[in-house]
Amino acid sequence: MLSIDPLTKPPDIDLELPGSKSITNRALILAALADGTSTLQGALFAEDTLAMVDCLRGLGVGIECDESNNKIVISGCGGDLNPNGKPLWVRQSGTTARFIMPLAALARTEILIDGDLQIRKRPQQELFDALEKLGVEATFQGEQGHLPVVINGADLHVEDLQVKAEQSSQYVSALLLSAPCMAEDMTLVVDGEIVSKPYLQMTLTMMRSFGADVEEVDQNHFRIRATGYKAQDYKVEADASTASYFFAAAALSGGRVKVKGLSQFSIQGDIGFVDLLEEMGAEVNRSEEYVEVCGISTLRGINAMMKSISDTAPTLAVVAPWADTPTSISGIGFIAHKESDRVTAVVTELRKLGIEVGNHGDGFTIKPGSIKSGLVHTYDDHRIAMAFTVLGLISGGIVLDNSECVSKTVPDFFEYVDRLRLDGDEELDILAIDGPAGSGKTSLAKRISSEIGLEYLDTGAMYRSVAAVVIKEEVDPLNKDLVVAIANKVKISFVGEEVFVDGENLTEVIRSSEVNAVVSHVAANPGVRAVLRRKQRSWARERGGGVLEGRDIGTVVFPRAKLKVYVTAAPEERARRRSLESGRSMEEILEDITGRDQIDSSRVDSPLSVSSDALVVDSTGKTINDVVEEILGSFNA
Ligand code: CDP
């Protein structure tokens, strides 16, 4: 469960958001099929794109991921796939499931394709019908027309195709993407209406960027030459669907959010979401390098046809209650078949929060109203979770039952949300005390907290508590996912000097040598840090401030703290103090603290470092009174 802290001040911010999922997954397919080595810059690293990377590797494509630089290097196979015989696991990713199927057929051998329960439920029949016409055998292992399926392209041949795209344009995109690697030129006609048409345009534009020859003979009629693809260095745009949540937050709060790496000429249809905000009265500034939204005091309701930008329908739905007239969203009946039944999800959850919503199957009509606090069910759907987070930013008391589902497309979503809160955090009374192990931060923080009447938080005790549970549950401290799951579920509370973990008093345990030995490994896990940072920020926001001590409080948790202090002391002095406190030998303690300092300072995520605007206090040879006085002097200045 995640309680959303409301904004205390309208944001005024420039954001660099992660790359587009749709572009990254298309570019991966194109680069995999191309002749030569391609590089993707600004690629998205999330569940859905990692699913694609895994599947392409399973088909014999060499891929190197450099996550810290958002870069992926792909050694293209020139259309000549070499599967490793293992099943392809698409996780929950719709684009991966659909795009990989025609590609698997190109391998001309049996390949099992499967994924999580959620994707098994999603329909794919129209794509299988088309593949069958091309001579591909599909053997369903469960329900007809659904994953898991064994694809066998041994008899793959070219036929002129007619495909339906009433449920998803991804079927057409999937067939188009693989078509240039077929033995002969191919013709494809889309039968009937196309939903999410901009995604089809994105596919065509990107195919051409990788050297394909696709002719639009007339509307919905394509001729694709069997030319293959050429490798490219490709820059992925920021994700326009992800940007919608931040634009909505700006529009509702009266703030300003500029998203860089997006342009008015974006190949992503969802950039059209800002046109709807503009129609509601928000100010939108567009350029070739960014798109910016500024909110105004009152928005007006609109009639929005969102067939082509349906991923952002939940976002508009959470904006609508604040408009002064009803908003009607139509053309989106088909989103009942996305990660969740999004029509029902939006209607049910808004009604729960006291909003009058009419469900007309093809969409919904939302009346203006005031939001009640409450628990929002996310249906394990990232877009429902992200949209209702926006609602929680504006209206207090919103809790999500499951927030982890955002990692499907934006693992760091809540970190970006926290950037919107930065201006508000400036108003808090935060004293941040950072420093290496045993530098005396805890004693200092306690003393100062009682002197200035602000509560104090020992963030190290939070990392220690997670480490204690990791040990208790016999989980490997280096197993990133399991340790993050523990951080997510563990309940840590402080009662006076005592620390309770899931209701058990672990005050002594968390200071044990077993915990000392693993805590820095647990703390180097970015997922754990994200979870605990969120808890630390909420703790301080609820109280209007506090004295927080740790390793990254001034550098990462509260970069706009009122005062940042970095306290240090010579290692021998730190070991001597700890030895006096605990009765353990100097040697043992020195080994522990220098070992932890080394890991804490060298980790990739928020390493222990001195903020350039911190007050640096070397406490070697000083009494605690001297140091307290020095810090209080600066805090009150
Ligand atoms: O008391 P001591 O200074 O030895 O350590 P602590 O403050 O209890 O922190 C224990 C461990 O938690 C540190 O060695 C870090 O690995 C981690 N930690 C962190 O990474 N970030 C924080 N804000 C606080 C602690």
Residue with tokens 């930065």: 422
pLDDT of 275: 97
Residue nearest to atom 25 of ligand 1 (CA): 460
Same domain membership, residue 502 and residue 455: yes
Same domain membership, residue 467 and residue 398: no
- Specify whether 311 is catalytic: yes
pLDDT of 621: 86
CA–CA distance from 154 to each of 5, 111, 138, 219, 444 (Å)? 55, 11, 11, 32, 72
Same domain membership, residue 563 and residue 451: yes
Cis omega (within 30 of 0) for bond into 148: yes
User: Which contacts (CB < 8 Å, 24+ apart) does range 482-490 have?
Assistant: 483/522, 483/525, 483/527, 483/528, 484/525, 484/527, 484/528, 484/531, 487/525, 487/527, 487/528, 487/531, 487/532, 488/404, 488/531, 490/465, 490/466
Same domain membership, residue 62 and residue 11: no
Cα–ligand 1 centroid distance for 633 (angstroms): 26
Strands in 161-165's sheet, in edge-to-edge order, are 161-165, 186-194, 221-224, 214-218
pLDDT over 90 for what percent of the chain?
Answer: 82
The vertex-221 CA angle with 215 and 222, nearest 5°, equals 35
pLDDT in tens, 454-483: 999 999 999 999 999 999 999 999 999 999
Last residue of a domain, one of 398, 419, 440: 419
Cα–ligand 1 centroid distance for 413 (angstroms): 25
Ligand 1 atom nearest to CA at 523 = 20
Closest to 276 measured CA to CA, from 255, 240, 241, 301 = 301
Same domain membership, residue 123 and residue 62: yes
d(Cα 536, Cα 553) in Å, to the nearest integer? 9
Same domain membership, residue 434 and residue 368: no
Q: Is the pLDDT of residue 637 over 80?
A: no
pLDDT of 168: 79
Same domain membership, residue 459 and residue 606: yes
Closest to 509 measured CA to CA, from 519, 522, 495 = 519
CATH number of the domain where residue 412 is located: 3.65.10.10
Same domain membership, residue 247 and residue 216: no
pTM, full prediction: 0.87
Query: Residue 223 is part of which domain span?
Result: 21-235
The encoded tokens of residue 605 equal 């995520």
Residues with CB under 6 A from ligand 1: 437-438, 441-442, 459-461, 463-464, 519-520, 523, 550-553, 596, 600
Same domain membership, residue 382 and residue 285: yes
pLDDT in tens, 282-305: 999 999 999 999 998 789 999 999
Residue with tokens 């570019």: 27
Same domain membership, residue 272 and residue 203: no
User: From the candidates 311, 425, 434, 458, which is the catalytic residue?
Assistant: 311
Q: Is the pLDDT of residue 270 over 90?
A: yes
d(Cα 85, Cα 110) in Å, to the nearest integer? 8
Same domain membership, residue 367 and residue 219: no
Q: Is the pLDDT of residue 15 over 90?
A: yes
Last residue of a domain, one of 213, 235, 257: 235
pLDDT band at 438 (very low <50, low <70, confident <90, very high): confident
Ligand 1 atom nearest to CA at 549 = 23
pLDDT band at 165 (very low <50, low <70, confident <90, very high): confident
Ligand 1 atom nearest to CA at 599 = 16
pLDDT in tens, 313-363: 999 999 999 999 999 999 999 888 888 899 999 999 999 999 999 999 899
Last residue of a domain, one of 235, 261, 287: 235
Answer for the pair 422, 13: CB distance below 8 angstroms, yes or no. yes
Cα–ligand 1 centroid distance for 585 (angstroms): 20
